[in-house]
Structure 1
């Protein structure tokens, strides 16, 4: 969601901040701002509602300094506005602060400690900077001690980056639940919520853990625990560079990432299956899965849909019962669990707040856990017992495509590895089948003109649309509908095809688009019957069918594949249809309104 950047010791501070914020646009935001200080008594605060381009226009040539902080805001408390944008400043004008996360006790702090303070914004963030100012200016604490004390008083999730106007040679940094990194340079240092923002400046990053605070100067990084005791931690080398996060010749990241999916499948096959066909997994992970009597997949959004697809894969290949849970519901309404549960967390970013609060609870209960993520070193990765990486490369577009298919691919490989460990014979050649799936995706992405034409026919002008299917095709329909609604703003819904007659068919009107996914031999004829039902009521139907089940008139025919891997492929036409429908409707494909890439608030 919100993005943080900071730099100290660079002469081109303003440009470093603006370029860093541009790299964080993918996270979703509605306003942005920077504060820079030349360390010689002159400073500037510039904030704008809207895009980074709007902020850039408002930044004059005089806005220069040797230290600065910047922020992209996704509104939680208070509407999107210049006033509610970060950085926020204390009443005295001494302290400037940016914040990711949500302060849950901000009202209590406001009424208990800050009654005499005039608040400018409607945000929870302003409470933090006003509290620190009070601890310094009224209670007489040093800035470091005030910052440290405020961290103990503030509840909720936060990543803080602050500048004291009286000590402009320092950055004050802290985190709890929200991700934050310190980048180490030569004669300068940087701070960011995502390495992508600052990888052009340095590839050496120190990851911060919950409860830690840092004082950063241009030559030194002092890492401390909650009690102020110094901690030593070596930086790690970021494996991404500017070429990884460049669009190249593509107009939008979403299309680039759709096109990258065949390569991602091949990369995952190489990562987790060696040349002899043996699986490259930690033996303790496999033993933990074997010992479990039930797997619980916990996720949100697109990752939840990948979990729904994964359930029948694990049950079919490894004969292991699986439950799939929405993280936002499961954490506060945990059902009765089996005697030996094993938890699998699916998260593209590894920072999903809803999933993390479940992981904290299952860790406290002593249950084993695995995180499947695209982000090494992320919170969910660090706090789970095991991690499997998606190896998908940076996914910049808000609408997830390659991370979704990568998650399902990892589930397929892991399920077959578990089956092999259990001595189960299922005649499934996972390496061969994933190779066929990669080729099939390539065939689909090579037919872009056809997908653009179909999008124009079915989705360019409609207000609403439906995807239907049965079994795993229903799971795919949920993700297909999500892709369409989140980028094109069409009111799209995914439904189990057999459930239409139990109420939803009343929404079918003349010309309503209904896309049916048909890849399951056991239910294909039933789904085709449902197609006839909606056509009889005026629906304009689009059929996506596997080659073995295709009939004359089916608009999209998928190459022949096993039922295990076909969900990895059947979603790809829907990704392209959503992409082209959005272009045809005149919207920004990569940055849909109101949405964020990394959802770090519950």
Structure 2
């Protein structure tokens, strides 16, 4: 969750405004920072590894003049946190800052290198600057060069370009990562979060998915993903100085659902080497070839992330896994092997039952892992190895981005352990990283279908009970879908393995009970079809969430079909997680419940 700010000031220096905006984005997490300005026809920049204090020291020694500039706080995704890898990146007369992942950066880099381009960093972002500079050298104007560059990019991004030859111009774009434009009195601003612009203006325009904009000191021109000029609403909003800002969303839960492409890009970068060929983690130091069993212990949504972990670790790493509910684990006093490892999962790192389970495992002589979001938490301090998920602050009580961040880190952990156990080789590991790198883009596509989920939610909002069904990897997602619906809508919901429906739960089927089937195409689809046809034959209201091929198979048999993108099986849990989150969220809106603070629930359960 890197931070972006851009400034076209009227008569005040840009650098202090950039630094102030970056300070407001520090809560997002970062490991390097930089700013660039244009003054008297000269583009210059300052960068530093570490915190903003290091950048402030650099600016104190070598100030940057000018009223136009861009700034960035970077969380490393490609390349270590060094000055050379810090943003802004420059090529010729253009500087750029970027949040997200450029999936085709290797292809672009090879193309540009073949034309004589020289790269100074390990980042994917530098290809953007060099590609744009290449287009400028071929005679394109700044606007056309930026538009041409954006059109070549695959992946997720929030971008802002600054040009030496056009000091009154910023060009920005977004796909999968948020970006806002602020309009002042004769000056304009760009930010990855409205909170960065709080002291500068209260007139905010949120760019929509695929938009790119040409920003001057007096106005902005926005284009949609097809290049068509569009008008986006300018809002006057009350911006305070709080970190917890909903942006354009009604609830923190909605904001956190939409943050997932950015969050997962960040987690992926934190867990992989700079060349994206190797998974890195402190857990590498464990001799996984000698581990006989991994015990996973957690509560709630974290427990369901552990359910996915069990499948991946057994399939990918061939490591036996026991999955345990934390509140039951220590009271049944399970024997733990001396050559075993226990991993506890907790967003807060303070969950009382999970912490007690960690302490029990340590007392039994186990090596312990703590998969947490808060690295200063008790679990993080007491576990032998801390595995951060890098989700950033999660305000909504119902976990969304923390769940998918846990899944990302678990998937990477599974492939790393598989390599350490000799199950896979380096090529398979690199291939897995490439597949996981597509997740931010895929999630952006699912996020664009929000209205489809809202329509389905409206049809189930008056139900008194809902069933979720899934097979294989979709079974834990069915459990999570039911949990989310219960948490924020107060509708009774249950998740079942689809093959188990005939072993009792089918008695619940009637024409009044919606049944949500998570059914991607693949080897288990035919089995799911058989189960669901038994339900349909008993007047069950079956709604299929699957890809286009799966929905086509069901034809008119299902009550409702909602097609989401066809994805690699490794990516499927992430795409379907967004689907069930949207379904719960919009059902809650229909019912008028308190989405962010549902009754009887707390964000962190610190008592037994």
- Same fold by TM-score greater than 0.5: yes
Structure 2 equivalent of residue 252 of structure 1: 251
State whether residues 468 and 514 of structure 1, in contact with CA within 8 Å, keep that contact through their aligned partners in structure 2. yes
Structure 2 equivalent of residue 273 of structure 1: 272
Q: State whether structure 2 residue 603 is matched by structure 1 residue 597.
A: yes
Structure 1 residues not aligned, in runs of 5+: 1-199, 201-240
Cα shift at 1:300: 0.4
CA distance in 2, matches of 1:313, 1:420: 14
Structure 2 equivalent of residue 481 of structure 1: 482
Structure 2 equivalent of residue 447 of structure 1: 449
* Residues 264-297 of structure 1: per-residue CA shift (max 9 Å, x gap): 1110111111232244635564424343111111
Q: State whether structure 2 residue 485 is matched by structure 1 residue 493.
A: no
Q: State whether structure 2 residue 562 is matched by structure 1 residue 556.
A: yes
Q: State whether structure 2 residue 436 is matched by structure 1 residue 430.
A: no
- The alignment partner of 2:502 has SS state of helix
State whether residues 434 and 565 of structure 1, in contact with CA within 8 Å, keep that contact through their aligned partners in structure 2. yes
Cα shift at 1:258: 0.4
Moved more, 371-380 or 546-555: 546-555
State whether residues 368 and 384 of structure 2, in contact with CA within 8 Å, keep that contact through their aligned partners in structure 1. yes
State whether residues 412 and 565 of structure 1, in contact with CA within 8 Å, keep that contact through their aligned partners in structure 2. no
* Residues 31-84 of structure 1: per-residue CA shift (max 9 Å, x gap): xxxxxxxxxxxxxxxxxxxxxxxxxxxxxxxxxxxxxxxxxxxxxxxxxxxxxx
CA distance in 2, matches of 1:264, 1:464: 33
CA distance in 1, matches of 2:551, 2:337: 41
Q: State whether structure 2 residue 404 is matched by structure 1 residue 419.
A: no
* Residues 277-329 of structure 1: per-residue CA shift (max 9 Å, x gap): 24463556442434311111100000000000011111122111111110001
Distance 1:284 1:443, change over 3 A: closer
Distance 1:334 1:551, change over 3 A: farther
Query: 456, 459, 468: which one pairs with 2:458?
Result: 456
Structure 1 equivalent of residue 365 of structure 2: 366
- Provide TM-score, normalisation by structure 1: 0.58
State whether residues 350 and 605 of structure 2, in contact with CA within 8 Å, keep that contact through their aligned partners in structure 1. yes
CA distance in 2, matches of 1:242, 1:368: 42
Query: 553, 560, 576: which one pairs with 2:582?
Result: 576
Distance 1:435 1:278, change over 3 A: closer
State whether residues 505 and 534 of structure 1, in contact with CA within 8 Å, keep that contact through their aligned partners in structure 2. yes
CA distance in 1, matches of 2:545, 2:499: 17
CA distance in 2, matches of 1:280, 1:521: 27
* Residues 378-398 of structure 1: per-residue CA shift (max 9 Å, x gap): 011100001111111111111
Structure 1 equivalent of residue 236 of structure 2: none
Pairwise CA RMSD? 2.0
Q: Which aligned pairs between 1:182-581 and structure 2 lie closer than 5 A?
A: 244-279=243-278, 281-282=280-281, 285-425=284-424, 427=428, 429-457=431-459, 459-519=460-520, 521-547=522-548, 549-551=550-552, 553=555, 555-581=561-587
Distance 1:489 1:284, change over 3 A: closer
- The alignment partner of 1:350 has SS state of coil
- The alignment partner of 2:552 has SS state of coil
CA distance in 2, matches of 1:483, 1:283: 32
- Provide TM-score, normalisation by structure 2: 0.57
CA distance in 1, matches of 2:346, 2:413: 16
Structure 1 equivalent of residue 62 of structure 2: none
Cα shift at 1:262: 0.7
* Residues 229-270 of structure 1: per-residue CA shift (max 9 Å, x gap): xxxxxxxxxxxx966421122110001000011111110111
State whether residues 487 and 579 of structure 1, in contact with CA within 8 Å, keep that contact through their aligned partners in structure 2. yes
State whether residues 512 and 538 of structure 1, in contact with CA within 8 Å, keep that contact through their aligned partners in structure 2. no
CA distance in 1, matches of 2:385, 2:521: 33
- The alignment partner of 1:551 has SS state of helix
CA distance in 2, matches of 1:242, 1:547: 45
Distance 1:529 1:350, change over 3 A: same
CA distance in 2, matches of 1:560, 1:243: 39
State whether residues 468 and 517 of structure 1, in contact with CA within 8 Å, keep that contact through their aligned partners in structure 2. yes
CA distance in 2, matches of 1:545, 1:460: 21
State whether residues 399 and 590 of structure 1, in contact with CA within 8 Å, keep that contact through their aligned partners in structure 2. yes
CA distance in 1, matches of 2:241, 2:291: 42
CA distance in 1, matches of 2:370, 2:265: 21
State whether residues 346 and 373 of structure 1, in contact with CA within 8 Å, keep that contact through their aligned partners in structure 2. yes
Count of residue pairs brought into register by the alignment:
362
Cα shift at 1:495: 0.7
CA distance in 2, matches of 1:340, 1:547: 46
